[in-house]
Amino acid sequence: MQIAIDGPASAGKSTIAKLIAKRLKFVYCDTGAMYRTVTLLAKNHQIDYGDVSSIVKLMDEHEIKFINKDDGQVVLLDGHNVSEEIRSEAVTNNVSQVSAIKEVREKLVELQRQLANDTDIVMDGRDIGTTVLPNAEVKIFLIASVEVRAQRRYKENVERGIETSLKTLEQEIAARDYKDSHREISPLQKADDAIEVDTSDMTIEEVVAKVLEIVQANK
């Protein structure tokens, strides 16, 4: 069974997808982490985020690996755990430029499809229901207002010891939404057969319950 969870920045996709995977004992795949890791690679090598050929070359030269652990997915770049580093502001604010590159998407989508090939999976991202797994049995599109999403990211940042103003976060999230929704290849878009869930006024447990209800109905 394939469960696709898409939606804009900070709508709660990863949190929900992780919990659903745990409840159902499915593999969890965070595709945003893949685009973030390629962005980190470019950053570490001081490559311009628009330099397509150099970024593609870096992807060929370095090993990006995803390991599933009980408490989520670990990202290894050349054997080093970069799961924390890929969440830095520098990566977050440049990932939309890197994820708009056609060659980057082609490589990562292929990897994502391979991962989903022989296992029950919950995959979250922007284009899972539309492009990566168009035949997924369950497609969820999670949304929430920009204000609520900025609040959530703010709380997350405080917990990780990062100082950012709420206003700045709102602007950054809106900017990323715009770039992700307006890029040429696989823009952020609700699949025709996806079920939209507005999580603005819902707790995590309520969203998990709602998604499990949708999964049950589609079994």
Per CB under 6 A, the list member of 3, 9, 82, 116 interacting with ligand CDP is: 9
What is each CA distance from 143 to 3, 10, 140, 189, in whole angstroms? 17, 9, 10, 11
Residues that bind ligand CDP (rule: CB under 6 A) add up to a total of 16
Residue (48 or 213) nearer to ligand CDP, CB: 48
Q: Give the sign of the dihedral formed by CA 13, CA 200, CA 129, CA 154.
A: negative
* Smallest distance from ligand CDP to CB 63, Å: 20
* Smallest distance from ligand CDP to CB 132, Å: 7
Per CB under 6 A, the list member of 180, 194, 199, 215 interacting with ligand CDP is: 180
Label the pairing between strands 80-81 and 72-77: antiparallel
Strands of 64-206 (E only): list them: 64-69, 72-77, 80-81, 121-125, 138-143, 195-198
Calculate the CA dihedral of residues 27, 33, 37, 43 and round it to 10 degrees.
-170
- Please report whether residue 17 would count as binding ligand CDP according to CB under 6 A: no
* Smallest distance from ligand CDP to CB 45, Å: 19
* Smallest distance from ligand CDP to CB 141, Å: 13
Region binding ligand CDP by CB under 6 A among candidate stretches 67-75, 123-131, 158-166, 207-215: 123-131
Asked whether 4 and 128 are in contact (CB, 8 A), the reply is yes
Cα 35 from Cα 217, distance rounded (Å): 32
Map residue 111 onto helix, strand or coil: helix
* Smallest distance from ligand CDP to CB 128, Å: 6
- Please report whether residue 41 would count as binding ligand CDP according to CB under 6 A: no
Binding residues for ligand CDP (CB under 6 A): 9-10, 13-14, 31-32, 35-36, 95-96, 99, 125-127, 176, 180
